[in-house]
Structure 1
Amino acid sequence: MTTDQPPRERVHLLGSLLRVLSMLVILGFGIWGGLALFYQFPAVVWLRATAAALWAVLSLVALIVYIRRRSRLIVLIYPAMLAALLFWWDNIPASSSRDWAEEVARTTAAVVNGPEVTLANVRNFDWRTATDYTPRWENRTYDLEKLTSVDLILPNEAIPAIAHPLISFGFDDGTYVTFSNEIRWEKNESVSEIGTLFKQYEAIVIAADERDSIRLRTNIRGQTVRLYRINMPKPAMRSLFMTYIEQANSVTETPRFYNTLTTDYTDITTELVSRIVTDAPLDYRLWFSATLPASIADLNGLMPGFTLDELRNGGTISGRAQAVNTAPGFSSRIRAGVPGIAPLIRS
């Protein structure tokens, strides 16, 4: 006698795999939920810690009961608890009205008039130390007909693996403007990399003068910074510039949270890569600063005729930025010796 049912062993294996998966889900949400409550529960620190600990204990109890198969009720109770937690989490609103730190106090907004783009609140701070500076927010107009270059700027961050790129656009009059996604934090608030994963900070798009954005990293923070010239036709440059303009206006109009793992990748890196190659294949290397240049090089997105080591070594601009400091010609002097960059032809 034949049967269409799978062998008993296969059913048993499938059941075991489902149980292991369920246990991992409970464990994972136990950890995530505890951290989410600790960072976002609207209360003082000790109450937030209590809420986080209570969730962790309930998750642990649910896991133990599930493992021992003492009650089938937990199969219904824990998903209901989790659904309530996720509903609360999904409805935490981002805000544009907080007592922001000075360097992220203003959002970039743009007005487009044909090929001309006027940016409000371009940051151009004179940094002396991380806490001592002269703030300057400027309105600047850029003619996209005179856009000549796109540069990828990669600073080493607190977590070296995570890419936090800046994109710099150059014009034929020798001016540059950089765009970057930044954490928007409040005055007297410290920045936590873990907190960025749990809606602790809003996101902001900063348009800045290169002397501000690069010098802040090289001269003030002491970071190693590398610059790579992107191999891109002018129509793609303009399209990329307008994409960042749209993102800046969007964040200004509708606040959203910053997430270290996704914000830079989705808003900066993918837009850059999509202008280099249409329908570029998914590549994990785009997520990490150490491998991002190699991934772009494989797409022919860096300047040809140089090895990746030559581009990396020649593109290390930290020493030049520190030497130039506040002297004139910052942008042109930090590019001296960078492979693939020819002198700008002035109109």
Structure 2
Amino acid sequence: MSLRSVISQILSSLKANPSLSNNTSDNVRQPKNWRHYVVHFLIALTLILSALWLLMLLGYQLGAYSPVTWIATIVIVGLLASVLSVKYRPKLANRIINKTTNKTINQKTTSKWLTGIYMAVWVVGLGWFFSIEPKQNRDWMPEVSQRVSYERDATNPDLITFTNVRNFDWHTDEDATEHWETRTIDMSKLSGIDVSNSYWMGPLIAHTLVSFRFEDERPLAFSFEIRKENGESFSALAGFFRRYELSLIAAEERDIIYTRSNARGEQVYLLPVSHLQQSEVKSLFESYLTAADELNAKPAWYNTLTSNCTNIIFYMARIVSGERLPWDYRIWVSGWLPNYLYDVGMLDANPENGGQPWSMDMWYERAHINPKVRGFDNQANLDLDASANSNEFSAQIRQGIPIPPLADSQLEADAEAKSAAQASSD
């Protein structure tokens, strides 16, 4: 028999038995490499995390004990379990279906259909999430019930009259006598900025407030906060799911800092920002006015990661100071904000001009206001002169802290900040 005849017979037999036609058939499986397992692990992890996100959205929006939440949970978990079992445990899925229906399934087709249904459910949930609108008219807690507004003087735009400046008399962490006041300030008298960090949940998480100092007036503090409803409590996780509206509070320090340091027992640190021109301070103040206008025109959502009490301030400050405030992971780890300011030269490493340089530990020791106001009487002299009480509190929390002067020029501010940053790294 010729060679040509032998090859012809072999090819004929292979056509008759396609399963033997090559060594990559169903009967001879190729070994799977590590990339295959990594890809499938990531797919499974993505599906599980997407389901978890959807379940948390339902829980925070509708309530954990809502019948709708429970029904939706059963549907989502059932769909996810079916997708994963058909995709990754087809024999088990086939055995279960065969026992209940006496039928077998086509793995590829069934997996596509189940995945498509699951993704459709998830996309509906995502669409619902983005359709949830913030509101102005809810049953708000007293301390966030009002919205700050302002008017400029017609003849002098530096004169700003605020309405609904908060000045509560705090008795306990939950009990206070309400006072919403009107206060006029002169922006031409702005003399500096202080940042206060209030630690309420360990060293990584802090609430950040900004106080504006004036040459001949007590400071005015601003705070971005969640606008809690009566009976509502804060949850960092809920802050990812459009659960809280955002609120901007303008307040006296004897209210908004006292309630944290004295009434709630949080650890509060006040840090004067160095190497600023008055134009920068004024621009940041204007940014708060713009934020008040925007929130009054249209409410916005608080977000634990992207729009919280710290990074909103950073976004506004960076518009003012630009590259002097570089992007840094500590913008999202609010408890480390003081260290960030120290490292970029905005918290002076040599605040006493030629004296012993201050380390960050020294700053934390001097900036800690709780020992300074322990036992402060928040009710004293209120009947005689409420502003005197506010002045006294603001003076006490700044004891032992050198107050930096404003820089005369941008060149001077940049040079001093660069020098301070260099000193902090030495």
Q: What TM-score, normalized to structure 1?
A: 0.88
Q: Which residue of the partner structure matches residue 361 of structure 2?
A: 309
- Aligned: 1:96 with 2:136: yes
Moved more, 277-286 or 118-127: 277-286
Partner deviation per Cα, 1:53-111 (whole Å, 9 max, x = no partner)? 43233333323333336322234222222211111111011111111111110111233
Counterpart in 2 of 1:219? 262
Partner of 2:218: 175
In structure 1, how many angstroms separate the alpha carbons of the residues matched to 2:86 and 2:283? 56
- After superposition, the Cα gap between the structure-2 partners of 1:52 and 1:104, relative to the gap in structure 1 and judged at 3 Å, is farther
Report sequence identity in percent: 33
Whether the 8 Å CA contact 1:66–1:74 is kept in 2: the answer is no
> 1:148 and 2:210 equivalent?
no
1:48 and 1:239 map into 2 onto residues whose CA distance is 47
- Choose the corresponding residue for 1:323, options 367, 372, 375: 375
For 1:60 and 1:312, locate their aligned partners in 2 and report how far apart those are by CA, in whole Å: 51
Q: Is the 8 A contact 2:209 2:309 kept in 1?
A: no
Q: Which position in structure 1 is the counterpart of 2:48?
A: 27
TM-score, length-normalised on structure 2? Answer: 0.72
Displacement of 1:44 in angstroms is 6.4
Decide whether the 8 Å contact of 1:162 with 1:261 is kept in 2: no
Which one of the candidate residues 396, 412, 418 is aligned to 1:333? 396
* Counterpart residue identity of residue 333, structure 1: Q
Moved over 6 A (4+): none
**Aligned-partner Cα distance in 2 for 1:229–1:302:** 7
Match of 2:239 among 184, 187, 196: 196
RCO comparison, higher one (Cα < 8 Å, 6+): 1
Residue identity in the other structure for 1:82? W
Mean Cα deviation higher: 255-264 or 227-236 = 255-264
Greater shift, 22-31 or 210-219, is seen at 22-31
Deviation string 1:105-158 (CA, Å, 9 cap, x unpaired) is 011123344112222211000011123211011121211100011001000123
1:58 is aligned to 2:79: yes
**C-alpha distance in 1, partners of 2:138/2:238?**
17
Q: Which runs of 5+ in 1 are unaligned?
A: 1-8
Query: 2:218 matched to 1:166?
Result: no
What do you get for the CA RMSD once the two structures are aligned? 2.5
Residue 276 of structure 1 deviates from its aligned partner by 4.3
Larger Rg: 2
Tell me by how many angstroms 1:12 deviates: 6.2
1:80-159 residue pairs with structure 2 within 5 A?
80-113=120-153, 114-158=157-201
Within the candidate set 330, 333, 346, 1:285 is matched to 330
2:228 aligned with 1:208: no
Q: Give the 3-state SS of the residue equivalent to 2:210 in structure 1.
A: strand
Contact 1:276 1:301 in 2 (8 A): no
Report the CA distance between 1:182 and its aligned residue: 0.9
Q: Which moved more, 1:33-42 or 1:52-61?
A: 52-61
Gaps of 5+ in 2: 1-29, 91-106, 351-357, 381-388, 407-426
Which residue, 277, 281, 284 being the options, matches 1:233? 277
Alpha carbons of 1:12 and 1:82: their partners in 2 closer, same or farther (altered >3 Å)? farther
Change beyond 3 A, Cα 1:81–1:228 = same
